[in-house]
Amino acid sequence: MSTRVLVLNGPNLGRLGSREPDVYGSTSYAGLVARCAQLGAELGLDVEVRETNSEAEMVGWLHEAADAKTPVVINPGAFTHYSYAMRDAAAQRTAPLVEVHISNPYTRETFRHTSVIAAVASGTIAGFGLGSYELALRALAEQLTAR
């Protein structure tokens, strides 16, 4: 029986492949979904990937994960820097939660240097392109095995 994991993506991540490929790479969102599902299967994880441009929807997904004790990989996108509602929802986690970023926020604009999510996450992985998701899934699998 595999462990269910939610991979949650915030605003504009559904535009991967066409949005600033010099920053976010040329792989499409569908490619990200496929990579996460494939690696999840290899790790014994049942990975469900979601994307939203809605802060309210993301908060609802975090509540769902907390209620079901579901581990989460989250790329909050722009919500990272200012969404206290999302931070408060993430703080209610009942399973590991790993924050990911495709680019390294600390090498970009100053406003991207602050994450309101990081303080309530199990850990943060950033700057490895879509590989950040793979590292996060591997970290989750390791944490879940250690439990």
Take residue 74 and report the two structure tokens written for it: 């989250």
Sign of the C-alpha dihedral, residues 28, 29, 33, 36? positive
Query: Which of 24, 29, 63, 106 is the catalytic position?
Result: 24
Query: How do strand 45-51 and strand 3-9 relate by DSSP bridges?
Result: parallel
Q: Is 22 annotated as a binding residue?
A: no
CA dist 65 → 100, 112, 131 (Å): 17, 26, 23
88 is in an annotated binding site: yes
Q: Is 63 annotated as a binding residue?
A: no
In whole angstroms, what is the distance from residue 41 CA to residue 34 CA? Answer: 11
Residue type, 53: N
Query: Which of 101, 106, 113, 133 is labelled catalytic?
Result: 101
The answer to whether 12 is annotated as binding is no
- Angle at the Cα of 71 from the Cα atoms of 134 and 47, rounded to 5 degrees: 55
Does 113 participate in catalysis according to the annotation? Answer: no
Q: Is 103 annotated as a binding residue?
A: yes
* 101: annotated active-site residue: yes
Annotated binding residue 112: yes
Q: How far is CA 43 from the centre of its chain?
A: 17
What residues are designated binding site for substrate?
A: 75, 81, 88, 102-103, 112
Task: List active site positions.
Answer: 24, 101
Annotated binding-site ranges: 75, 81, 88, 102-103, 112
